[in-house]
Structures are given as structure tokens and as C-alpha cells.
Structure 1
């Protein structure tokens, strides 16, 4: 039996679910708020399910059923787009919106080249970027603000599917006047730095990873400064405020502050950080997501066990 809801209602719902604000959704969809509210009421009536909780002060909030429904219709709407394009004879052309999350320290390294390649291959896809910390990205993936995220696997909880694209070992950054900076082999153990001041990249899950490295080496941290910015950490090392442990390595040793840092490989057998493509588990990936993942894997080089 035909279901008493329309494709238009589903498209409206997808936008309202993303924004959780009827006024903002109406503006994006270019319809009146009363028409949008009526369409959502009709959809809830047709499904015999409450999709939203309406608060006078806080606006709309998705119910658990609404959150699940928002995830379930993604692939359906993707198929509807594909059917439309197929009918127009453009079935190989991807169109629509792709919401990509990226871990903030990763964003400057590979994302510009990845996005440039992706947009060249798929000019009909409109890409939006959410740059955030690891915890925020996990929340964004679960509530639909991101379709896929390029991020570290640190602290990754249950409910996610992932593909590893790179494994990045930790290394040390020191000021160019540091005694270890002139070593021909450019190597050092963490134990050799015991007692020296450090500059820490202080982000959720990242800080726990670095703390575990110190615990493994039996070294007590002597933290002089903590920063959330990757380049801020490098700049403070370049001005002699201490050493730092980081993972991603830049091509240039010059920092924003104008000074230079010297990277040293760690001789300790520390675990690397895994760079991953992450999306919600159990949600069928759209063609846009799969195309973005393919671009990332091609440019990064897929990591195989």
C-alpha cells in the first residue's frame, strides 16, 4: 500500500532535522514557515510518530525516532537524486550537498589538495567543511551535521565505521639551539628529555594519547604551556619555550613566529596515530560520501595491514 507522505516532505524534514530550527529551515528551503510547519505535522501524522519535541525557549529538538529517521532517509534521498539524474541522462554526475568534518590539526595538511581534486572530479557536489576537535566531530557525525569525517581514531566510540588512510608516528620538535638538534641521525628518546619544559597540544583525546606516551616511557611531564593550536605549539618551540611531541610533520621547519624548529625521530616504540575516514555505522553511505572516500584513499595511499 502506498505510504501517505511525499518526497517533498522528506526533503523538508532532512533540512529541519539538520538545523533544528523551523525559521532557519524555511529560509534555506525558501518556503513560508507556516507551510513548512504544516508539512512536518502531516509527516508526523502519516508516520504516527513524533519526530520533534517543540520547546518555546529552545525551539525544536529531534526525538530518538526523529534522529533515526533522519539517518535512514539519507540513502533514500540519494537514490531519489540518482533516479532524477538517470532520467536526465546524467547518471554518472554527482550532485547535492556533502558535509565533511575534519580534525582541526589535520585540516591544513591534506584537505586543501583532497578538496581540490574532489571538486575537479565532481563539480556538481557542494562541499561544506566542519573543522573541529575529535569529540565534536563524533557528535556531529551522530547528529547528522557531518556525513563523513577525516580525523584521528583516538577515542573513537562505538557506532562508527572507519577506514584507516595513514598511520603517523609521534616525533619530537626542539629549538634549533637544543643540544640534540645537531645530531646527524636526528633521533632522540623521550627519556633524554626528562625534566625539560614542554609545550603541549592540548585537545580532547590528543592530550590523553601524549600522556600515555610519557607514562610508557616512565617520564614525568614538565608542562610549561598548553595550546589548542598546532602552529601555536610549533611557534613556541621555535622561540625556545620547550620541546613538543607531535605527529603530523610539516614540509617546512619555519614557524609563524619566524623561528625554526628541528624535528627528531623518537627511538621509543610508541604507537602511531591512525588517520581515518569515519562515518556512522549502519547508515548506508551516499555516492557522494563514497566518492569523497575514494579521493582521500587515492591521495593518501590506502594503508593495508
Structure 2
């Protein structure tokens, strides 16, 4: 059964005249008649009664007309969906993000997506940088919002914003309440660090600052969970590290005691937030729409010190 045979049958069913039906479809009357005969042979039923005076549907033809219209409507819907998806007007974009991206990047971007591309869906997944890049490489994400960017031709990237890193300490730590601490003072502190593969850019920013300050960090614990870091510094005289966004808005608590954060300087360790996506994926309408909204929603800025203290 071919769609053109269904189309021809439906035209005859509406016109009840082979000449008018053929003209409407820009076909010859003999070819339309032959196509209808082929359809009837395929179905092994007679769909149309033809006489020299009239054309009418048989009972089988009337029953077949209902389903034939549904088939043609579904085929048109499928074609429309394909065109909409190719044009980037429907579909889903899978976006990974980290804490500062969720705080500073996504709200404005998602609002713009909702306004400009209401038919698109955005699936959000919060992950650390290493996990996001793995998911991106394996095709499980379309866009990753991460610290730093991989130095490989497999990915493209766009810098979104730069964030200072801060120290996280407990309320009873001797740094608590100080407006800032020179990085060199970390030489006399036990620290909590994390595995480099979890977030290479942040790890390298800390180590670069330590090198510039001529400091060798004393790492007492390796902890890959920011909330667990907040708990440890609340109960032990340790120093953890975080972006200023997590320091302000998302430090974990322990027993109701909230850790505090202290600015680091001389030098200030800085970390860049990037959008990263795969190179060579070909046209991807939803991803392109998301990246366009991401660019239009910027520029993005780190929270000011005044905002931080109010928060």
C-alpha cells in the first residue's frame, strides 16, 4: 500500500468524480483509475462503484475512508514534526551544569528559552565537571556548563564568566570573621582537597595560586563532596576550597552550624566557567537554540562582596 494510492482514493471519495479528483492531484484520469485498482487488489475488496453515470463508495470504501484519513493525517504530523525538529523548533536539549551555573547562568537562559523557544524541552542534570565531560563525550549530554574547558579538538567551548575561589572554614576557626587572608597563610593550615579528575580546572587554580605564593599545601583529607567538606571544616580546624558562589549560597551544614567563607588574596585564585559541546555533531537545532539564548542572556558576573554578605 502506497501513500499516493491512499491520497488518490481520498480525492475520489471527496469528489466522487475521477476527472475532478485527477485534476486536483495533477494526475491523469487513467493513472488515477489504475492506482485505485491496484489499491483494491492489495486490499482484496472493492472500494468504489463506477458506472457511466456515477461514482460512489461501497460499504467497504466508507469504512476504509475513515482509517485512510487517519493514516494520512498521522503521516503529515510525522513530516511536520521532522521539519520542526530540523529547524530547531521542537525537541530536547540535555544540559549538564554545576553549582555556579545553576545560580548565575541558567535562570536567565531558561527564561529566554521559555520565551523564544516554548516548544523546546531542556533536560537539566547537575554534575561535577569530570562527570559532565564524560557524559558529553559519551553522547549523554548536548551541552556542559563546567569549570575550565578540555584541550581537545573533540569539543568546542565558550567562556561565560570568571569566579574567585575562597576558603571555607568552621565558625570556630581563627580565620572566621576575617575579611580576607593572604594565600601564603595556607602554609600553616591543614587543608581539604579533592581528586583532580573531579574538577581539573579548580584543582589547577588552587595549585597555581599555591605555587605563586610559594606555598606547599598540607592536604589532610581528599573529599570529593562539597557538602562533606562543609561538615568537616565545621568540626575540625581545616580549610576547604570552593567557588565564591558555593561559599555564599551553598555551603553544607553540620549539626545546624553553618561554615563560613573567607576571601583569599595575593594571589586570588580564579576559575572560569565555560559552555562546552561536541564538535562535528552536525546540525542540532535544540542545542543551537540553547547556545544562542545562553549568549543573549549574558554577560554573566560573579556576585559582588556586598551581595555575598547580605546573602
TM bucket by the smaller chain? 0.5 to 0.7
Mark the CA change 1:107 to 1:166 in structure 2 (over 3 Å): closer, same or farther.
closer
1:112 Cα deviation (Å)? 6.2
1:187 equivalent in alignment to 2:185: no
- CA deviation profile, 1:130-163 (whole Å, cap 9, x unmatched): 4444334334333322211111115443332111
1:117 aligns with 2:111: yes
The Cα of 1:85 is off from its aligned counterpart by 3.4
What secondary structure, in the 3-state scheme, does the structure 2 residue paired with 1:180 have? coil
Mapped partners of 2:159, 2:106: distance in 1: 19
Tell me how far 1:199 sits from its aligned partner. 1.7
**Does structure 2 retain, via aligned residues, the 8 Å contact 1:133–1:203?**
no
* Residues 1:293 and 2:291 aligned together: yes
* Greater percentage in helix: 2
Larger Rg: 2
User: CA, structure 1 residues 106+222, in 2 after alignment: closer, same or farther (shift >3 Å)?
Assistant: same
1:201–1:230: 8 Å Cα contact kept in structure 2?
no
Query: Given the alignment, which residue of 141, 148, 152 partners 1:146?
Result: 141
CA shift digits 1:6-38 (9 cap, x unpaired): xxxxxxxxxxxxxxxxxxxxxxxxxxxxxxxxx
- TM-score, reference length from structure 1: 0.59
Paired positions, count: 217
**1:229-255, CA deviations, whole angstroms, 9 ceiling, x for partnerless residues?**
122212322333411122242444763
Structure 2: how far apart are the matches of 1:287 and 1:302? 24
Pair 84,298 (structure 1): closer, same or farther in 2 beyond 3 Å: closer
Partner of 1:84: 83
Q: CA deviation at 1:83?
A: 6.6
Residue in structure 1 matching 2:190, options 193, 197, 217: 197
CA apart distance, 1:207: 3.0
Once the two structures are superposed, what CA deviation does each residue of 1:169-197 show, in whole Å capped at 9, x if it has no partner? Answer: 221122222233233xx111121121311
- The 2-side partners of 1:253 and 1:130 are apart by 17
- Say if 1:252 and 1:224 are closer, same or farther in 2 by CA, change over 3 A: same
What's the CA shift string for 1:188-229, capped at 9, x where partnerless?
112112131112233511434423332332212222222111
Matching of residues 8-87 of structure 1 within 5 Å: 84-85=83-84
TM-score, normalised relative to structure 2? 0.58
Determine if contact 1:239/1:259 at 8 Å carries over to the other structure.
no
Query: Would the aligned equivalents of 1:97 and 1:125 in 2 still touch at CA under 8 Å?
Result: yes
Segments of 5+ residues of structure 2 without an aligned counterpart are 1-78, 302-311
TM alignment of 1:245-284, pairs within 5 A:
245-250=241-246, 251-252=248-249, 255-257=252-254, 258-284=256-282
Q: Is the 8 A contact 1:164 1:302 kept in 2?
A: no
Question: Partners in 2 of 1:81 and 1:189 — Cα distance?
Answer: 61
Give the alignment partner of residue 160 of structure 1, picking from 148, 155, 159.
Answer: 155
Q: 2:14 maps to what in 1?
A: none
The 2-side partners of 1:225 and 1:213 are apart by: 19
Any stretches of 5+ residues in structure 1 without a counterpart?
1-79
Greater CA drift, 207-216 or 147-156? 207-216
The answer to whether the 8 Å contact 1:166/1:274 transfers is: yes
Q: How far apart are residue 168 of structure 1 and its match?
A: 0.8
